[in-house]
Amino acid sequence: MPNDISSCHDLILQQQEQITALQKQVNILLVNQAGLTDRLNKNSRNSSKPPSSDGLQKPTSRPAFSRGKGRKPGGKPGHKGKTLEICEQPDHFNEILPDKCGCGHALDKSKANVVEVRQVFDLPQPRLEVTEHVLLGCTCERCGSYNEGAFPDGVNARLQYGTGVRALIVLLNVAFKLPVKKVQLLFGDLYGFAINPATIISSTQKCFNLLGPVEKLLRAGLLQSLVNHFDETGLRVAGSLHWPTPVATGCSPTFSSTQNGARRPCRAPPPTCRRSRDGPCTTAGAATSSSRVACTPYAVRTC
């Protein structure tokens, strides 16, 4: 009898150990299942995954502001819309009249009356205008001195692009964020000239230098403002990580980029900041005046 009781006790212990091991395996499987389910449910809207990773499971897009039931799309009564208006002085005229009547008799345009007018607004054929500057020199008939003209400011080479072309390629490269090669491709397709990448880069650099005084005025205005808006993001510059940081008020934006902006000392007391996602800044900082507090984590990157 004692041996039977001992064997039963051992059997119960073995079963309990097996149940414990199975329970551990079940818990591991549940954790793995939860992780896989979470991964499958992630998309570009609820995680940092790019939209291109959604594939065929792309979520259905919804309008930011849902339209009320029964309301039709488009402008509502009282809304001032924008549309084309008849041009009083068109650039081209195209008078349409058959050459001959159905009976074969020739028709006279001068005796025709206007039935209907339709206007088509379209882009002209893009082309570059070439201005040739000819430098002249001559000898004065009175005193015998030789006089020679001077080229206008900015005319420095035998062949060069003008300020209009340079402004356009800076706009395409900076404002519309087109890479240099795409600016080249677009410019060549439109105007038939293969612009040099060095011209695009030098034009952008020249524009940057000319806007230096404007940047100083904007920075001075931002430092005098009681409330500013700060933000930041990462950017690769020549293979290294930089931190572009926009600082703005309602009408004065500035952008700066530093490789390690968080460690740069602040040269001037920044105004109270308002972060784009966190609301009014309440971080610890030394007071710079009775109405201005420095927000250290964000402000030092832009000073």
Q: Does 178 reside within a domain?
A: yes
State the residue range of the domain holding 202. Answer: 158-209
For 146-168, the pLDDT digits (tens) are: 999 999 999 999 999 999 999 99
Q: What is the 3-state secondary structure (H, E, C) of the chain?
A: CHHHHHHHHHHHHHHHHHHHHHHHHHHHHHHHHHHHHHHHHCCCCCCCCCHHHHHHHCCCCCCCCCCCCCCCCCCCCCCCCCCCCCCCCCCCCCCCCCCECCCCCECCHHHCCCCCCCCCCCCCCCCCCCCCCCCCEEECCCCCCEEECCCCCCCCCCCCCCHHHHHHHHHHHHHCCCCHHHHHHHHHHHHCCCCCHHHHHHHHHHHHHHCHHHHHHHHHHHHHCCEEEECCCCEEECCEEEEEEEEECCCCEEEEEECCHHHCCCCCCCCEEEECCCEECCCCCCEEECCEECCHHHHCCCC
Range 21-30 average pLDDT: 92
| Shared-domain flag, residues 197 and 243 | no
Q: Does 54 reside within a domain?
A: no
Q: What pLDDT score does 69 carry?
A: 65
| Shared-domain flag, residues 225 and 283 | yes
| Shared-domain flag, residues 219 and 288 | yes
Total domains in the chain come to: 2
Across the chain, mean pLDDT equals: 79
Q: What pLDDT score does 3 carry?
A: 63
Q: What pLDDT score does 49 carry?
A: 79
| Shared-domain flag, residues 222 and 280 | yes
For residue 41, pLDDT over 60 is answered with: yes
Q: For residue 283, what pLDDT band results from cuts at 50, 70 and 90? A: very low
| Shared-domain flag, residues 218 and 199 | no
Instruction: Please state, in angstroms and as integers, the Cα–Cα distance from residue 167 to each residue in 204, 205, 222, 250, following that order.
Output: 9, 12, 27, 26
Q: Does 187 reside within a domain?
A: yes
Higher local confidence (pLDDT), 238 or 99: 99
For 101-120, the pLDDT digits (tens) are: 989 899 998 889 999 999 99
Q: For residue 48, what are its two tokens?
A: 């940092």
Higher local confidence (pLDDT), 231 or 97: 97
Q: What pLDDT score does 286 carry?
A: 32
Q: What pLDDT score does 285 carry?
A: 33
Q: Does 57 reside within a domain?
A: no
Q: Are 173 and 181 in contact (CB under 8 A)?
A: no
pLDDT over 70 percentage in the chain: 77
Phi, psi of 133 (to 5 degrees): -100, 120
Q: Does 139 reside within a domain?
A: no
For residue 42, pLDDT over 90 is answered with: no
Q: Does 64 reside within a domain?
A: no
For residue 81, pLDDT over 50 is answered with: yes
pTM: 0.57
Q: What pLDDT score does 220 carry?
A: 86
Range 13-38 average pLDDT: 89
- Pairing of β 272-275 and β 227-230: parallel
| Shared-domain flag, residues 294 and 220 | yes
Q: What pLDDT score does 303 carry?
A: 34
Range 135-142 average pLDDT: 94
